[in-house]
Chains A and B, each alone.
Chain A
Amino acid sequence: MIEEISCFDQIGLPILSIIAYIPLIGAIILLFFRKTQENLIRWFTNIIAIIDFLISLLIIPGFIKDHHCIQFVEKIPWIESLGIQYYFGIDGISVLLILLTTFLGVLAILSSWTAITVRVKEYYIFMLLLQTGMLGVFMSLDFFLFYVFWEVMLVPMYFLIGVWGGPRKLYAAIKFFLYTLFGSVLMLIGILALYFHHFNATGEYTFEIFKLYDPAIPIGLQNWLFWAFFIAFAIKVPMFPFHTWLPDAHVEAPTAGSVILAGVLLKMGTYGFVRFSLPMFPRACYDFSWIVIVLSIIGIIYGALVAMMQKDMKKLVAYSSVSHLGFVMLGIFVFNMEGISGGMLQMINHGLSTGALFLIVGLIYERRHTRMIADFGGLSNVMPVYATLFMIVTLSSIGLPMLNGFIGEFLILVGAFKFYKIYAVFAAIGIVLGAAYMLWLYQRTMFGKCENPDNQVLKDLNFREVMTLMPIVVLCFWIGIYPTPFLNFMKASIAHLINTMGI
Chain B
Amino acid sequence: MNFDVNLSLIFPEIALTIFATIIIIADFFIPKRNRNILAAISIIGLLYTFHRVGILFGNDLNIGNRVITFNGMFAADFYSLFFKMLFLFAAVLTILISYKYIRVEDAFRSEYYQLILFSTIGMMIMVSGADLVSIYIGLELMAISFYILTGFLKKSLKSNEASMKYLLLGSFGSCLILFGMSLLFGATKTTNLIRITSELKSYEGPEFILTLAIIMLTAGFGFKIAAVPFHTWCPDVYEGAPTPITAFMSIAPKAAAFAAFLRIFIAVVKPNTMNLQADWITLLYWVSIITMTLGNVVAIAQKNIKRMLAYSSIAHAGYMLIGFVAISTTFEKSSFISIKFFAGLPDAATSILFYFLVYLFANLGAFAVVIALGREGKTGCYLDDYTGLAYKRPFYGLVMTVFMLSLAGIPPTGGFVGKFYLFGAGINARYYLLIVIAVLNSAISLYYYMRVSMYMYMKEPMGETKFNESFGLVFVISLMALITILIGIFPETFVTLAKKSILSIL
Contacts and interface: CB of A to CB of B under 8 A. Distances in A.
A174 B454 contact: yes
A82 B346 contact: yes
A222 B432 CA distance: 15
A189 B432 CA distance: 8
A182 B440 contact: yes
Interface in A80-107: 80-82
A185 B428 contact: no
A185 B439 contact: yes
Given A148-B412, A155-B410, A81 B450 contact: no
B460 to A, nearest CB: 10
Instruction: Specify the main secondary structure of chain A where it touches its partner.
Output: helix
Q: Give the secondary structure class of B's interface.
A: helix
B412 A152 contact: yes
B439 A188 contact: yes
B443 A163 contact: no
A152 B420 CA distance: 15
Contacts of B423: 188-189, 192
A205 interface: yes
Given A155-B405, A189-B427, A178 B458 contact: no
Given A173-B454, A177-B446, A178-B446, A152 B411 contact: yes
Contacts of A174: 447, 450-451, 454
B341 A80 contact: yes
Contacts, number: 91
Contacts of A205: 343, 345
B391 interface: yes
B258 interface: no
Nearest to B442: A185
B435 A158 contact: no
B271 interface: no
Point out which of B342, B344, B424 has the most chain A C-beta atoms below 10 A from its C-beta: B424
Interface stretch (B49-57, B229-237, B488-496): B488-496
Contacts of A80: 341, 343, 492
Given A174-B454, A177-B450, A189-B423, A148 B439 contact: no
A119 interface: yes
A138 interface: no
Contact of A178 (B443, B454, B457, B499): B443
B458 A151 contact: no
A312 B439 CA distance: 36
Nearest to B488: A148
Contacts of B345: 82, 196, 199, 205
Interface centre among B342, B390, B420, by most chain A C-beta atoms within 10 angstroms, is: B420
Interface string A127-163: 0000000000000000010011001101100110011
Interface in B283-323: none
A169 B447 contact: no
B416 interface: yes
Interface string B346-362: 10000000000000000
Q: Which bucket holds chain A's interface residue count?
A: 35 or more
Contacts of B342: 81
Given A81-B343, A155-B405, A177-B446, A163 B495 contact: no
A502 B495 CA distance: 41
Contact of A158 (B334, B390, B442, B450): B450
A193 B427 contact: yes
Nearest to B423: A192
A416 to B, nearest CB: 34
Nearest to B341: A81
A162 B446 contact: no
B436 A148 contact: no
B348 to A, nearest CB: 14
Interface string B463-505: 0000000000000000000000000000110011001000000
Given A162-B454, A178-B446, 17 more contacts: A79-B492, A80-B341, A81-B343, A81-B492, A81-B495, A82-B343, A147-B411, A151-B411, A152-B411, A174-B454, A189-B427, A189-B436, A192-B424, A193-B427, A193-B432, A196-B427, A199-B345
23 contacts: A81-B341, A81-B344, A81-B492, A81-B495, A144-B420, A151-B416, A152-B412, A158-B450, A169-B458, A170-B458, A177-B446, A178-B446, A182-B443, A185-B439, A186-B436, A189-B423, A192-B427, A193-B427, A193-B432, A195-B424, A199-B334, A199-B345, A205-B345
Among all A-B residue pairs, the 3 with the closest Cβ atoms: A185-B439, A81-B343, A148-B411
